[in-house]
Amino acid sequence: MALKSAISGRVIEPQDFEYERARRVWNGMIDRRPAAIARCVTVGDVIACIEAARSDRLPVAIRGGGHNIAGNAVCDGGLVIDLSLMKQIVVDPKAQTVRAGGGVLWGELDASTQQYGLATTGGLMSTTGIAGFTLGGGLGHLMRSYGLACDNLLSAQIVTAAGRLLTVNRTENHDLYWALRGGGGNFGVVTSLEFQLHSVGPVLVGGSVFHPLSAETLRFYRNFMTSAPDALIVYTGLGRGPDGVARVGMRAVFNGPLNDGEEVLRPLRSFGSPIVDDIRPRPYLEVQRLVDPSFPPGRRNYWKAHFLTELSDDAIILAVEAFRRAPSRYSSIALEPMGGSIARVGVTETAFSHRAARYSLLILAGWEDASETEANVLWARELWGRLQPMAAAGVYVNYLGGEGEQRVRDAYGPNLARLSEIKSKYDPENFFRMNQNIRPASAEGLASGSSHAHR
Ligand SMILES: Cc1cc2nc3c(=O)[nH]c(=O)nc-3n(C[C@H](O)[C@H](O)[C@H](O)COP(=O)(O)OP(=O)(O)OC[C@H]3O[C@@H](n4cnc5c(N)ncnc54)[C@H](O)[C@@H]3O)c2cc1C
């Protein structure tokens, strides 16, 4: 391939020994065979990839951290623009900002910013990519304090479908700046992102209390969160312990002084008789890795998501009963409380519109053996369907699989028409379509799912 001599990074093709590894993403359900994977090092490499894909008429996928459940970071028979070598991180402690390359992972960004006692809203797992995460919104431990990751995005550099490098921020290319904060990878290849940082930690109160699986614990959780300050976030998961027994885990993180954290968390820790209580002062970097062991790469995964404006008694009972029937010990149901700073941003201020949601509910089916796929997918779909009457409109784009056109519309909600206009301006031919696709307004229909639907 001519691209080999045109870029300073490496082009990996099917005959190369790294190919099998390089084409894998986090979700073991994804098994795609690109024609080539271009590991870019510079912005010039990215521009060369776009030119090569155009002249060879190859479909293009963009890879940040490779964590997306839908697997759109890879494509069959096309060119993967892989940013995993673009790792530059520059912290400006005085301005409290950081600029990072499009291939940086959250663990890497957190480690660099914490050297100065700073952080921004990042992923729960250290191995998630900052780019795909932020472009879809970005839910994390600090979101009730400081907003979503996209709310902290100050500027970005992006290579468009025409191969032009643009800077986007409040004053330059403002329409694109708006679209990148929730519109996903539809508009070009983001080569670097600049974030607002905040003083965080370095030690804060965090950890989990685990209880036997019961509706009562979830009702307590709901009531407790009703009066929680913005500095507190408690994620709740229905899962299984090391002994395989079903349990409810409430993982709390208090972003503030340690004494205040102990005080605020006292009612949570005094509730019932926990099986385990490991809440204690911990380095922020440790908090940001608590979830890592639960979601190893390579396992088979299928997710379904809702937003909820309230956590009703009926939804709680449904979730508890369905969880008891989960076919795999690796499956879980997660509740992510929103509100706080997220809700103080207007629905149309950024492309991410789901500002009124109180919870994100995620059904995570995970299993190892291919023969168990049908049972696990069915379990997740059935529970999702039964919860639908209690759910709010919309879905978080970063939790979508290949679920078809209506779900893509739901993900962009009231901002779809404007996103579609901006797509027309920057990518009129829909060159970047390996994503939860926004069609250019000029094209027939507004949105379609990625080409690999597995509802
Ligand atoms: C185990 C696990 C934990 C997660 N935890 C959270 C969480 O705590 N909060 C949350 O909000 N989400 C979470 N997610 C979802 C996550 O936000 C999405 O999967 C996100 O897309 C991951 O970004 P990535 O760069 O790693 O993914 P990739 O798979 O590399 O990219 C996903 C898509 O984003 C686009 N994209 C990626 N990089 C670029 C770029 N540089 N320029 C343009 N487009 C790009 C492309 O369209 C690509 O197909 C989690 C996912 C997993 C698997």
- pLDDT profile of the chain (455 residues), mean per 10: 90 97 98 98 98 96 98 97 98 98 98 98 97 98 98 98 97 98 98 98 97 98 97 98 95 98 97 96 97 96 96 97 97 97 98 97 97 98 97 96 95 98 97 97 56 48
Q: What per-residue confidence (pLDDT) applies to 445?
A: 45
In angstroms, what is the span from residue 71 Cα to ligand 1's centroid? 9
Name the residue at shortest CA distance from atom 7 of ligand 1: 123
Name the residue at shortest CA distance from atom 37 of ligand 1: 132
Q: What per-residue confidence (pLDDT) applies to 453?
A: 47
Burial class (CB within 10 angstroms; exposed 0-12, middle 13-18, buried 19+) of 452: middle
State how far the Cα of 307 lies from the Cα of 305, in Å rounded to an integer.
7
Helix (H) or strand (E) holding 134: helix 130-136
Ligand 1: does its nearest atom lie under 6 Å from the Cβ of 187? no
In angstroms, what is the span from residue 43 Cα to ligand 1's centroid? 20
In angstroms, what is the span from residue 103 Cα to ligand 1's centroid? 11
Q: What per-residue confidence (pLDDT) applies to 455?
A: 53
Ligand 1: does its nearest atom lie under 6 Å from the Cβ of 105? no
In angstroms, what is the span from residue 164 Cα to ligand 1's centroid? 24
* CB 320 within 8 Å of CB 214: yes
**Which residues sit opposite 277 in a β-bridge?**
209
Ligand 1: does its nearest atom lie under 6 Å from the Cβ of 438? no
In angstroms, what is the span from residue 27 Cα to ligand 1's centroid? 12
In angstroms, what is the span from residue 185 Cα to ligand 1's centroid? 10
Q: What per-residue confidence (pLDDT) applies to 451?
A: 43
Ligand 1: does its nearest atom lie under 6 Å from the Cβ of 102? yes
Q: What per-residue confidence (pLDDT) applies to 164?
A: 97
Ligand 1: does its nearest atom lie under 6 Å from the Cβ of 66? yes
Ligand 1: does its nearest atom lie under 6 Å from the Cβ of 68? yes
> Each residue of 9-44: pLDDT tens digit?
999 999 999 999 999 999 999 999 999 999 999 999
pTM, to two decimals: 0.96
Residue type, 213: L
* CB 211 within 8 Å of CB 268: no
The CA distances from residue 445 to 97, 156, 186, 395, 405, in Å, are: 40, 29, 16, 20, 10
> Beta strand pairing status for 36-39 and 10-12?
antiparallel
In angstroms, what is the span from residue 317 Cα to ligand 1's centroid? 31
Ligand 1: does its nearest atom lie under 6 Å from the Cβ of 366? no
Q: Which of 345, 347, 351 is nearest to 416 (CA)?
A: 351
Judged by phi (left if over 0) then psi (alpha if -120 to 50, else beta), residue 252 lies in: beta
